[in-house]
Each structure stands twice: as C-alpha cells, then as structure tokens.
Structure 1
Amino acid sequence: MRAQDNMSTVRSQINITNPTQSTVWNIPEKITLEWNTVAIDTSKSIRFFLVRNEMVVQELGSFKNDGFENGIDLAKNIGSGDRYQVVAIELFPDDKFKIAKRATPFFSIVNKMSDERREKQRLANAIPTKKQKTPSQKNLLTPSQTKPVKRETFEGRKISYTKELEFNSENITLKIWDHGRQDGDIVSIYLNGISVVSKYYLTYSKKEFSVKLDPKKSNDLFLYAHNLGNSPPNTVSVEITDGTKSENIILNSDLQSCEAVLISVR
C-alpha cells in the first residue's frame, strides 16, 4: 500500500526529446514531435505550441500521449529565426493545480519563401511615391469626423463595450492572466485596432505589458480570442495601472464577439 501511495503522489512531467537545441525546421517541410512523460496515462493528450519570445506563433495541435507525432504543417508566414521553442502542456490533469508543462531549448526555423517576400516588400517600400490630392479630395475631413467613434466590429466579430476608464497618464501597464480554470486559452489584446499582445497563452501567472495611449482621444482596448480553450468563452483578468491609479476588469471573447473598454487620459 505504501508503494502505491508513493506512486499516486508522483508529479506529472513532460520531457520533449525532439526538437532539440540543434534542430532546424525548414518551411514548408512537415515536422515531427517526440516526447515522453511521467505519471501521465497514455489515454490522455498533450497540447503543443510553437512559441517565440513567450508569444504563441502557432498551435501545433493536441495529440494522444503516445510519444510521437509526425506530418505536422507549419504556418507559411512564420519567419526565419533562432529563438523558437516548443511548449507542451498536459491536458485535463488529475491535479489542475500541478499541470505538467515543458519548453524546449531555443532552436531554429528557416523559411526562405517568407524571407524573399519580406525583402521584396522592403524594396517596394523603399521607393518613394507621391500622391497628389485633387481639389475634390482636399478638406474632406469635417470636425465631426475627428471625434472618437466606437468600433462596432473587428474582422467580422462584434465589439461590445463594457466600461469607460480614465487615467492620469498616457503610459499605462497591463497585467493579464487566466480568469478561472487554466484551459489553453490563446488571446490577443488590441489597442485602437493594433495588436499590443499577440497570441498569448493565458496562465494563472500575471504577464505584464507596457502600453501608450493616445491622449487626444478615447482609446478602445479589446480582447480577441484565437481559440475557445476547454471551457469557452475565453475570459481574461486585466489589471490596468498608470502608477497612481489602478483598475481591474474582466473581458470575455469567443469566435463571434469581443468585449472592450474605452480608455481616456485626463
């Protein structure tokens, strides 16, 4: 009985054996994942992500815990670089407060097609072009058009505003973390339609980001879900502070809608 008790208290672990530090993935070739686990039954599944600088680049998939998966396609827009990692996370753990998670050492990805496209775009942008305004195009902006307008949709998703906030400084700090069960939510945070947090995998740990507001208008900040995790919708806790004032909010998002707040500077 004591031996069985000891086995039941062994903490689950994931060890990724491929890719390694010497691995080079070439796009568009298919890639292979290899791993082994401790105290995770073979009937369970492991979820894998491709990460760069702590940001999720691609969800590689959820696979049965048999230690091997091949024929995986990488996204064609992934850039070349040597700071990539694969992160593996245990799905539906027996103890949700001790979820097995493992990241590989940094390895490299080469995408010649993406590099060539970027170089062509760089050369195109380097050629100056001048656009002359015709008389009919001049002075088309009226005072009413300079007023802030609430965003109604983004990429086909409805935007719902839940709160209006006001801060003393245009420089604010965001802290985000998973609100509720940690279940694989991947989110982006947009400020005025521009991504300030991109494809981030939510955990219970707070992740901090610095953001600059436009002091001349109301800034819209909204949550964008890239998946639904295991318990939809995606729900994120957000702490916003300017150093003197702090606000805590909760934003929800699914694949059809996004919650948002308006933020202005005094």
Structure 2
Amino acid sequence: MCSHTTNNSIANQGIYQTIEKSAIEILQPNKSTIWTISEPASIAWKTWNIGSEKSIRFFLARDDMVVQELGTFKNTFSVNGIKLAKNISSGDTYQVVGIELFPDNKYHVAKFATPYFSIRNEEADARRNTSKYGNSQKNTVAKALESPNRQSFEGRKISYVKELVFDNEKVSIDIWDHGRQDDDVVSIYLNGETIISKHLLTYRKKRITFTLDPSKSNDLFLYAHNLGKFPPNTVAIEITDGKTKEDIVLNSDLKSCEAVLIKIKK
C-alpha cells in the first residue's frame, strides 16, 4: 500500500514538472510571410508558464547566423513597429528566433525558431550591384574609424547592447549557459584581451575576477568558437563590483559578437 502511494506521488511529481516547463511558439512570421525592409515588421507569439512580467528576446537569423537583434520585449504576445536593418538582402531562408530571458527554472529555457520565410529588399540588392568603392561605403568606413568603440574583432562585427557603470575597479563575473546545454564553447574578452578562454558552457557558473581601466570605457564581449546544437550561443552573465550587480545575456555566432561597455563612476 505504501509502495503504491509512493509510486503515485512520484508519477504526480513528474506530471507536475512537465506542466511547469515553460514554452514559446512564434505565430507570426510564419512560412508564408514576406517582410519588406521598407515597412515595419510585427511578431506575434504565445507562451506557456511564462509570466507577463517576463521578457522574450527575438533575433532575425539567416542560414543559422544572426543578422539582427529585433529586440527584447515583455511577454505581451505581440509587438509591432520593428525596424529592420536596411542592409539586409533579399532571401527565402530567414527565421525569427525567440528566447525566454532569466527563466524561473534555470535548467529549462523556452526557445523557438520559426520556419523559413522571405524578406525582400530591392534597395539593398541594387546597392550590392554598384561598385564597392563608392562614396557611400567610404563614408561608412570613415564613421567606423571615428567611433571610440571596437567595431569588429577577427572579422566579426561587434554590437554593443548595454552600458554599465560601477563604483569599483575590481569586478567579478559569473558566466553560464542561458539556454540548453548544447556544447557551446566561448571565450570572453576584455579590451581585446582574453579573460576566459574556450570555455565549455554548462549550467554551473564559472567565476573570474579582473580589474577595469578607470580611464576609459572597457569593452567586454562574447566570442563563439562554435554554434552548438541550437545557435546562437547565448550566455548569461552576472557582473558585480561587490556593491552593484548587473545581470545580462549576450549572444554570439560565427559572424558577430555582442558586447557591453563598462565604466567606473567618477
């Protein structure tokens, strides 16, 4: 009798755990969608066991490579008015990827990729047929050189997602796999120097302490050495100076790296 009760209890726990898992499904765009770059885009989705106060982060991917971060939005099931990057070319192998941010169950993160859909950009297609040494490209290069932030690293574009300010120069970071454990291998760079090298991400946090340069904005970025089984590589990072703590999520693929700028309060 006791054995039967115990087995039922275990079974009920298993059902409960299954029900409590979070999930997301993106309804729009779908396989029949055609986005036009000149017009704002919309995303619609539904979720299970993700509260309205939680946030979902969306990416536009092509051939398993992230081409644009579409934004982080509260779980309101739809968002309109998304501006698409003007340099995105026409194609039929685009996907929108949605990832749950900071889930209650750290061992399960809801993630969803849409079927392939199409994007049309006649202006970008026409520009690609012109000389690569045109005036527009020269102006773009000049602006990049004038920027105080690092624009690329080893041929990969760097995108800055946030600026952080701390009181103390000595800072610690913890990193761990924000999504599924799928053999992601990453490095973390500070001001172009490796502080975490070729680390296999798991749910176990890895900590490192380092000293910031108080005279400038320090750039911290994520570098992916592979794509794992579920691209892009998504890393949860907790940064603290012992007084202030910041939680961020960075993504990287084989063409781009996300970064943050870190300053010391003066």
Equivalent residue for 1:130?
Answer: none
1:1-266 matches, within 5 Å, as 6-7=15-16, 9-10=18-19, 11-121=21-131, 154-155=150-151, 158-160=191-193, 178=201, 187-188=222-223, 201-203=232-234, 230-231=247-248, 254-255=260-261
Aligned to 2:31, what secondary structure does the other structure show?
coil
Contact 1:26 1:111 in 2 (8 A): yes
Question: In structure 2, what is the Cα distance between the partners aligned to 1:121 and 1:41?
Answer: 50
Identical positions, percent: 40
- How many Å separate the matches in 1 of 2:58 and 2:87? 19
Q: What residue ranges of structure 2 are gaps of 5+ in the alignment? A: 1-8, 135-148, 153-189, 207-219, 236-245, 253-257
The answer to whether the 8 A contact 1:49-1:56 is kept is yes
Q: Deviations over 1:114-169 (max 9, x none)?
A: 10100112698xxxxxxxxxxxxxxxxxxxxxxxxxxxx95499433679xxxxxx
CA distance in 1: counterparts of 2:127 and 2:193, whole angstroms: 37
When the two structures are superposed, what TM-score results if normalisation uses the length of structure 2?
0.51
Report if aligned partners of 2:57, 2:73 keep a CA contact under 8 Å in 1.
yes
1:122 and 1:61 map into 2 onto residues whose CA distance is 30
Structure 2 counterpart of 1:29, one-letter code:
E
Shift of 1:43: 1.8
Using a 3 Å threshold, how does the CA distance of structure 1 residues 178 and 230 change in structure 2: closer, same or farther?
farther
- Residues 114 and 176 of structure 1: CA distance in aligned 2, closer, same or farther (over 3 Å): farther
Larger Rg: 1
Higher helix share: 2
Q: Secondary structure at the match of 1:74?
A: coil
Separation (CA, whole Å) in 1 of partners of 2:221 and 2:63:
15
Amino acid at match of 1:82: D
Q: 1:235 to 1:121 in 2, by over 3 A?
A: closer
Structure 1 residues without counterparts, runs of 5 or longer = 125-152, 164-173, 191-195, 205-228, 237-251, 258-266
SS of match in other structure, 2:192: strand
Q: Distance in 2 between matches of 1:253 and 1:45?
A: 20
Taking a change above 3 Å as real, the CA distance of residues 253 and 61 of structure 1, as seen in their structure-2 partners, is: closer
Deviation at 1:186, TM superposition (A): 8.0
Which residue pairs with 1:249 in the alignment? Answer: none
Q: What displacement does 1:62 show? A: 1.0
- What secondary structure is seen at the aligned counterpart in 1 of 2:51? coil
Distance 1:122 1:235 in 2: 29
TM-score (norm 1): 0.51
The Cα shift of 1:55 comes to 1.4
SS state at 2:130 partner: helix
**C-alpha contact 2:233 2:251 (8 A) present in aligned 1:** no
